Chain A
Amino acid sequence: MLNPKLKLNPKLFDKDVEVKPTREGFGKGLLALGEMNPNVVALSADLAESTHAHLFAEKFPERFFEVGIGEQNMAAIGAGLGVTGKIAFISSYATFSPGKNWETIRTTIVYNQANVKIAGHHAGIMTGPDGATHQATEDIAITRCWPGMQVYVPCDAIESQKATIASANITTPVYLRYTRDKTPVMTTEETPFTAGKMQDFWITDNPQATIFATGYMLHYALVAAKELEEEGFPTLVVNVATIKPLDEEGIMKFTGHTKAVVTVEDHQVMGGMGSAIAECLAKTNPLPIEFIGLQDTFAESGTPQELVEKYGMGVASIKKAVKKVIKRKNT
């Protein structure tokens, strides 16, 4: 069942569940931060409306900088602001930032310890019709490897607003991942959010496997768990909203009983959340893992739903992986 302590959206499994894009949470969170803190500034590389940074831009034009299509410039200007008392939010599609400007961010923001938050939008194959060039599927891998970087992947629009605001609580750089399309709202305003903490969204007696899911894919995992429950495969589902710092205690707690893991993300299986979980378990408590995500391939144009199915990431694929890992555990 859904964990009652987390005050989740009770209509989460309804056919007409409320859907909103997580980038909306970014826009609202950034605006709220702008109201709270006069040192928050924002930069755009010609994508203000798409990223919803325009809400901040309209309210605080003197604190908003449009640099046009130049992501390296945007990052390094952000760095200059971030070492001079500002909290700079730079936003673009994740393929371009941190994609195109990866080294600029590494040198001028991460190594330089500048107070800059990097908002990577249009993450995952669920970006849809734009196709693979615009679908960021390696961004978690290329950001979590930076020393000291924090990486937040909120699961819905409400959590995304909280994560955006939370990123300003630390003075070191944060990467935040947002998606384009409307996705199910799973949490409520009352759902607690703590950066660095995993939460068990679906709980059950005697779970046989644990699904760690990140981002909007959490909804697919929850649907899978609900069906698996009825099929006699009780499964725990955990929301991994922070990839780094990884909640190692949480991993231990949520795998201690099940001893079998499936990870679910809209990202390459190499280097993303699944890999992070595997790294932790390999050190502390090796156990069988199955990885749901992109299996070393680019996707293509399509609707998010079509793509998720075609690339083996949908509910059926998740359920299959759970049954497989349980079998592996028992042999």
Chain B
Amino acid sequence: MPEELYEDKLKDLDKKADEARKLIIKTLLEAGSGHSAGPLDMADIFTAFYFHILNHDPKKPDWPDRDRLILSNGHICPVRYVVMAMAGYFPIEELKTLRKIDSRLQGHPHRTALPGLETTSGPLGEGLSQGIGIALAAKMDKKRYRTYVVTGDGELNEGNIWEAAMFAGKIKLNNLTAIVDRNNIQIDGFTEDVMPLEPLRAKWESFNWHVLEVDAHNIREFIDAIQEADAIYEKPTVILAHSIPGKGVEFMEKDFHWHGKPPNKDEAKLALQEIRTLGGKIKSEHQS
């Protein structure tokens, strides 16, 4: 794509990410329960996936050659649901049903409830393995779709993650890319206080993964990383996406208490006023 058009595309993606943040706040308010920080900090990456990176068709969620996006830390599903709705998988109106009875938008994503989810997740540590199974099927069937697995960083406490990492390293699974939401928080506090992960890059490298690090709020950087990951032949790639939990809502940012609760009516009002475009905290492109 010519540079000018690409610049325009990136600006558009930033705008969409803002839209997503607003919808996330509204959706969580309506639901009355759910997680705020993670969905907000992954809004840029999910926007980039659904509006640029993934080879997919919202009208054909079962299309056999589609790229697969697996959400391992299922609790941040509000961002996935919101962006899927924006992309046309289902009506935006339906977001109001999150976590309610008879809804397709289950509190933690359930594969058979909503077409396009690929896996069922919630209990942490299981998505990377599931993604590996899906990527293996692609190899066996000689299909060219890519498999992307998003995980949390607290989630890396789970042994199952490292079992999966060992296996992917063993078989040099090059059609799978992991993305870690490195937001430094988990329920009981900051990750480095609860269960220190550093040196995290070194850990993945020692498991024979290629490691990239990006600003999770810089869509250009993220897309570049995905393109590099897609091209690496010798090993699977993990992208450590450094994020600010609660990104976009100042009173939520960097506060681990916002991991697991939704905003109330007043907080939501304030949040919506506040949702800024990407500016300030880290080097990002910016729309006002």
Contact B119 A83 (CB under 8 A): yes
Asked if A112 meets B136 with Cβ closer than 8 Å, knowing A72-B125, A77-B129, A80-B129, the reply is no
Asked if A86 meets B137 with Cβ closer than 8 Å, knowing A112-B111, A112-B112, the reply is yes
Asked if A104 meets B126 with Cβ closer than 8 Å, knowing A67-B167, A112-B119, the reply is yes
Query: A65 contacts the other chain (Cβ, under 8 Å)?
Result: yes
**With a CB–CB cut-off of 8 A, which chain B residues contact A83?**
111, 118-119, 130, 133-134
Contact A73 B167 (CB under 8 A): yes
Contact B133 A79 (CB under 8 A): yes
Query: B61 contacts the other chain (Cβ, under 8 Å)?
Result: no
Query: B276 contacts the other chain (Cβ, under 8 Å)?
Result: no
Query: B122 contacts the other chain (Cβ, under 8 Å)?
Result: yes
**With a CB–CB cut-off of 8 A, which chain B residues contact A108?**
119-120, 126, 129-130
Question: CA–CA, A104 to B111, complex, Å?
Answer: 15
The smallest C-beta distance from A244 to any residue of chain B, in angstroms, reads 20
- Interface positions, chain A 246-282, Cβ under 8 Å from B, are none
Interface segment, B82-90, B158-166, B210-218, B233-241?
Answer: B158-166
Contact A70 B166 (CB under 8 A): yes
**8 Å CB contact of A84 from B126, B127, B137, B163:** B137
**With a CB–CB cut-off of 8 A, which chain A residues contact B159?**
72
Interface secondary structure of B, over-half rule: helix
Question: CA–CA, A73 to B125, complex, Å?
Answer: 9
- Interface positions, chain B 120-149, Cβ under 8 Å from A, are 120-123, 125-127, 129-138, 140-141
**With a CB–CB cut-off of 8 A, which chain A residues contact B127?**
76
The smallest C-beta distance from B76 to any residue of chain A, in angstroms, reads 17
Contact A88 B133 (CB under 8 A): yes
**With a CB–CB cut-off of 8 A, which chain A residues contact B104?**
none
**With a CB–CB cut-off of 8 A, which chain B residues contact A85?**
137, 141
Contact A80 B134 (CB under 8 A): yes
Asked if A84 meets B160 with Cβ closer than 8 Å, knowing A67-B167, A112-B119, the reply is no
The smallest C-beta distance from B105 to any residue of chain A, in angstroms, reads 16
The smallest C-beta distance from A31 to any residue of chain B, in angstroms, reads 18
**With a CB–CB cut-off of 8 A, which chain A residues contact B122?**
107
**Which of B111, B119, B129, B167 has the most chain A CB atoms inside 10 A of its CB?**
B129
Query: A57 contacts the other chain (Cβ, under 8 Å)?
Result: no
The smallest C-beta distance from B114 to any residue of chain A, in angstroms, reads 13
Asked if A73 meets B137 with Cβ closer than 8 Å, knowing A104-B126, A111-B120, the reply is no
Query: A62 contacts the other chain (Cβ, under 8 Å)?
Result: yes
**With a CB–CB cut-off of 8 A, which chain A residues contact B135?**
80
**With a CB–CB cut-off of 8 A, which chain B residues contact A104?**
123, 126, 160
**8 Å CB contact of B163 from A65, A67, A112:** A67
Contact A70 B110 (CB under 8 A): no
The smallest C-beta distance from B166 to any residue of chain A, in angstroms, reads 7
Interface secondary structure of A, over-half rule: helix
- The chain A residue sitting closest to B126, CB to CB, is A76
Contact B136 A107 (CB under 8 A): no
Count residues of B near A (Cβ-Cβ below 8 Å): 30
Contact A76 B160 (CB under 8 A): yes
Contact A79 B166 (CB under 8 A): no
Asked if A107 meets B126 with Cβ closer than 8 Å, knowing A67-B167, A73-B163, the reply is yes
Question: CA–CA, A68 to B169, complex, Å?
Answer: 13
Counting chain A residues whose Cβ lies within 8 A of the other chain, the interface size class is 20 to 34
Question: CA–CA, A136 to B123, complex, Å?
Answer: 25
**With a CB–CB cut-off of 8 A, which chain B residues contact A107?**
120-123, 126
- Interface positions, chain A 278-313, Cβ under 8 Å from B, are none
- The chain B residue sitting closest to A41, CB to CB, is B140
**Which of A41, A81, A84 has the most chain B CB atoms inside 10 A of its CB?**
A84
The smallest C-beta distance from B169 to any residue of chain A, in angstroms, reads 12
Contact B123 A80 (CB under 8 A): no
Question: CA–CA, A139 to B127, complex, Å?
Answer: 25
The smallest C-beta distance from A323 to any residue of chain B, in angstroms, reads 48
Contact A73 B164 (CB under 8 A): yes
Query: A63 contacts the other chain (Cβ, under 8 Å)?
Result: yes
Query: A130 contacts the other chain (Cβ, under 8 Å)?
Result: no
Question: CA–CA, A68 to B137, complex, Å?
Answer: 19
**With a CB–CB cut-off of 8 A, which chain B residues contact A76?**
126-127, 129-130, 133, 160, 164
**With a CB–CB cut-off of 8 A, which chain A residues contact B121?**
107
Query: A82 contacts the other chain (Cβ, under 8 Å)?
Result: yes
Query: A78 contacts the other chain (Cβ, under 8 Å)?
Result: yes
- The chain B residue sitting closest to A45, CB to CB, is B163
- Interface positions, chain B 150-184, Cβ under 8 Å from A, are 159-160, 163-164, 166-167
**With a CB–CB cut-off of 8 A, which chain B residues contact A81?**
133-134, 136-137
Please encode chain A, from 33 to 68, with 1 for each CB lying within 8 Å of some chain B CB and 0 for all others: 000000001000000000000000000001101011
The smallest C-beta distance from A237 to any residue of chain B, in angstroms, reads 41
13 new A-B pairs (CB below 8 Å) besides A75-B129, A86-B137? A65-B136, A70-B160, A72-B129, A76-B126, A77-B129, A78-B133, A80-B132, A80-B135, A80-B137, A81-B137, A107-B123, A112-B112, A112-B119
The 10 A-B residue pairs whose C-beta atoms are closest, nearest first, are A80-B133, A76-B129, A70-B163, A73-B163, A84-B137, A112-B120, A80-B130, A81-B133, A77-B133, A80-B134
List residues of chain B with CB under 8 Å of any chain A CB.
110-112, 118-123, 125-127, 129-138, 140-141, 159-160, 163-164, 166-167
Q: List 17 A-B contacts (CB under 8 A).
A: A41-B140, A62-B140, A67-B163, A72-B125, A72-B160, A75-B129, A76-B129, A77-B132, A77-B133, A80-B134, A83-B118, A83-B119, A83-B130, A85-B137, A86-B137, A88-B133, A113-B112
